[in-house]
Amino acid sequence: MNEQFLKDSKKIYEYLNTQKNEVNKLVSALEDKQYDKLTLIDDFANSLDLQMSEDLRYALVTRIVNLRDDSLVQVLKKLELDEKEVIELQEKAYLFVKEFWHNKHKRTLDYIKDNNLLTPFYQAIFQGVYNVGIKMSSWQSSWTAHIINGINKELLAKFDGDEEKVFDYLESNSLFDLGHNSMIADRSYSALVKKDDGYENQAYIKAFKKQTTEVINALEAFEENLLEYEDDVFGHKWDYILYIQSLILAFSETKENSLVERWANVDRAWMKIKSPIQIGHPLEYYEDHFRKAVALEWDIRFTNPEFAQNDHRVNKIKSAFANIFSTFEENSSYKNIYAFSLKSLDKVQLYIGRPAIFFGAELNGLFSAQVVPNDEIVSKEEGKKIFAFADEILQTSRAKPFLRLSAEIFGNEFLSEDRKFLFNETTSWHQVYDITTIGHEYGHILWCDDETESVMNKTGNFKNIEEFKATTGGLISFFLDLDSDEKHLQRQVLIDSVKRAVGLIGWMEVDEVQPYYCEGLIHLNGLFESQVLSWENEKLSIDLSDEKFEKLKTWYIKIYTDLAKHYLDKKDATQFLNNFAKKDGKYFMPIDENINDFVKHYFARYKEIGQELDTSDKKSNYIK
């Protein structure tokens, strides 16, 4: 990239950093009880017609700053509101947050234009993404109302909460989209619409005609505008234009069984764009548990200008991958899957940066990292992109308030060690993030080919073991590492694993993040079996000694090897999950009685005090 573009990129990156710090000041004001600086939060509560309280104030700050609404849902449930009222208030909160962030994004655009940063072509990219994004955010409301809170709740009620019966019904009535080679696809770009006594699947352009047409119109205007400029820095003009054209064709497609191929063409066009300014489009499908309707993602990911491509993590992943694979008997089917994963690893493009502007589904929570596309046919041809928002996550982690629940569960000694690390060991923090988070994204690629997900997801639990597979893939690259360059991070990787496993319990009742909750339950089995964690008389004990670490390492290597074999054999995901957790009513719960007791205790306390601040410790104790 030329020198001026690099200078401009640094200015924008710093601007985004400053903007994030500004938003994080809401958290500082909350911690310091400077309520005069939280008039925005008062307005937020008024817009929901709710009486302000300590836990509501915390939940509303969290909804704006971290974009998650699980705390808000808990507060609303405490107010004994029924499900319908909770859903209505979630939507009102979404609209308030949308307005707040759209204004921020508009200021980002103004900053770039007023200071004449980047080039006219990339200024047009920002403007075009913003214009389309406004329409995506507006569509998000009806998408959630129809798919998540409408059809999916109807299906569950129709079969008395029995998810397996829902999946059987969908499959026997041909209500999944067909993908490559006319096989049932692992995701859908359509929605179910009532017809007579049943349903039919309709492409987004039919099910959400007005909203999709508005997005298409904005994309067409975006394309026309780009034609006027040249990309004289990266030479990607026609790659961007072909990408936008493929998006227009995909959104316009009316034939349900042509949708997956249309969107595969979007991903193919997108993989050709390798500039530091990346557009994110509908890629993930966590929210919709049944048909995996792809969510309305839309954003610009801005690469850190200081970032240099490196093979550090992928080489450690490959080495561990080969090590585990060598333990299996020779088998041509296994070899093909191994080769498929290896080719995907070799083609990964890595982007380390932060979100610049984001819309739609992302106003309900940004990812900390992502590996995409999910279409394995495209990945076989083009590879994947990994995005990691390390700077954003570090900033957010340092801004997060200390919570009473953490102090009660983990104890001050454990938290103090973790906080010293978080606030003072920036370089080592990034190294741990590389193992646990970037490692997680590489971990998704392993042991899969183009049909793994659809074959293993017959009972709907593929994602509920896949997140564990991903995180553990990163951990295994650390455990089996023959080099000693990361050995000094052992204790912090262990602390991170404990915090993640326990913290994920809080997501028990948040349907779209159920895969992470289930991941946490499997990790807890390892932490308890190795006695890193023990639970007695309603007290959690934590042992971070080398001896317990070695036990945990042995557990992970064994379980991950079993899991890899499960993937190679393409067995149903539920079989693996049921070794650790089974459905108890609506939610998965641990089979082990002691872990089960701990999970119930933690979640009960989360509901009671999960939004209360811990005043016994302060950030000033750690910031040097």
One-character DSSP codes across 246-271: HHHHHHH---GGGHHHHHHHHHHHHH
- pLDDT tens, 473-517? 999 999 999 999 999 999 999 999 999 999 999 999 988 889 999
User: Residue 311: which pLDDT band, with cuts at 50, 70 and 90?
Assistant: confident
Q: Is the pLDDT of residue 592 over 90?
A: yes
Contact 576, 521 (CB under 8 A): no
Q: Give the integer Cα–Cα distance in Å for 439 and 303.
A: 19
Q: Is the pLDDT of residue 400 over 90?
A: yes
| Per-residue pLDDT, 308 | 77
Residues in a beta bridge with 191: 202
Q: In angstroms, how far is CA 622 from the centroid of its own chain?
A: 29
The ranges assigned to domains in the chain are: 1-117, 392-621
Token output for 134:
């406004």
- From 390, 126, 441, select the one nearest 283 (Cα to Cα): 441
| Per-residue pLDDT, 512 | 82
Q: Give the integer Cα–Cα distance in Å for 22 and 53.
A: 24
Contact 478, 456 (CB under 8 A): no
Measured in residues, the chain has a length of 624
Find out whether the peptide bond into 373 is cis, omega within 30 degrees of 0: yes
Q: Which amino acid does the sequence have at 250?
A: A
Token output for 428:
């080592």
Interacting residues of 159 by C-beta distance below 8 A, sequence separation 6+:
165, 166, 169
Q: Give the integer Cα–Cα distance in Å for 11 and 165.
A: 54
Contact 372, 385 (CB under 8 A): yes
Q: Give the integer Cα–Cα distance in Å for 297 and 244.
A: 15
| Per-residue pLDDT, 511 | 84
| Per-residue pLDDT, 605 | 97
| Range list of β-strands (E), 520-600 | 533-536, 539-542, 581-584, 587-590
- From 179, 374, 175, select the one nearest 257 (Cα to Cα): 179
Average pLDDT, the chain: 96
| Per-residue pLDDT, 293 | 96
Q: What is the dihedral of CA 602, 605, 607, 610, to 10 degrees?
A: -100
DSSP strand pairing (297-303 vs 277-280): antiparallel
Residues in a beta bridge with 539: 536
Contact 150, 421 (CB under 8 A): no
Q: Give the integer Cα–Cα distance in Å for 470 and 217.
A: 38
DSSP 617: -
- The label of the residue with tokens 């190795």 reads 530
Per-residue b or e along 590-608, where b marks 16 or more CB atoms closer than 10 Å to that residue's CB: bebeebbebbebbbebbbe
Three-state DSSP class for 512?
Answer: helix
Q: Is the pLDDT of residue 307 over 90?
A: no
DSSP 612: -
Name the maximum alpha-carbon separation found in the chain: 70
- pLDDT tens, 437-456? 999 999 999 999 999 998 99
H helix or E strand, kind and range, residue 417: helix 412-424
- From 307, 309, 308, 301, select the one nearest 270 (Cα to Cα): 301
User: Residue 1: which pLDDT band, with cuts at 50, 70 and 90?
Assistant: low
Q: Is the pLDDT of residue 163 over 70?
A: yes
Q: Give the integer Cα–Cα distance in Å for 463 and 478.
A: 23
Q: Is the pLDDT of residue 309 over 80?
A: no
Q: What are the Cα distances from residue 77, in Å, to 90, 116, 152, 154, 510?
A: 12, 48, 21, 21, 13
In terms of phi and psi (left: phi > 0; alpha: psi -120 to 50; beta: otherwise), the region of 276 is alpha
Q: Give the integer Cα–Cα distance in Å for 271 and 135.
A: 24
- pLDDT tens, 522-535? 999 999 999 999 99
DSSP strand pairing (581-584 vs 587-590): antiparallel
Q: Is the pLDDT of residue 550 over 70?
A: yes
Residues in a beta bridge with 369: 388
Q: Give the integer Cα–Cα distance in Å for 528 and 52.
A: 40
Three-state DSSP class for 299?
Answer: strand
Read off the pLDDT of each residue in 41-68 and give the average, rounded to a whole number.
97
Q: What is the dihedral of CA 585, 586, 587, 591, to 10 degrees?
A: 20
- pLDDT tens, 131-146? 999 999 999 999 999 9
Contact 19, 108 (CB under 8 A): yes
Per-residue b or e along 49-85, where b marks 16 or more CB atoms closer than 10 Å to that residue's CB: ebeeeebbbbbbbbbbbbbbbbbbbbbbeeeebeeee
Q: Give the integer Cα–Cα distance in Å for 436 and 236.
A: 33
Read off the pLDDT of each residue in 322-337 and give the average, rounded to a whole number.
96
Interacting residues of 282 by C-beta distance below 8 A, sequence separation 6+:
189, 263, 294, 295, 296, 297, 298
- pLDDT tens, 185-212? 989 999 999 998 899 999 999 999 999 9
Token output for 566:
């499960």
Q: 191 φ, ψ to 5°?
A: -130, 150
Q: Is the pLDDT of residue 286 over 90?
A: no
What is the crossing angle of helices 54-65 and 83-114, to 10°?
50
Per-residue b or e along 154-177, where b marks 16 or more CB atoms closer than 10 Å to that residue's CB: ebbeeeeeebeebbebbeeeebbb
DSSP strand pairing (533-536 vs 539-542): antiparallel
- From 499, 501, 437, select the one nearest 470 (Cα to Cα): 437
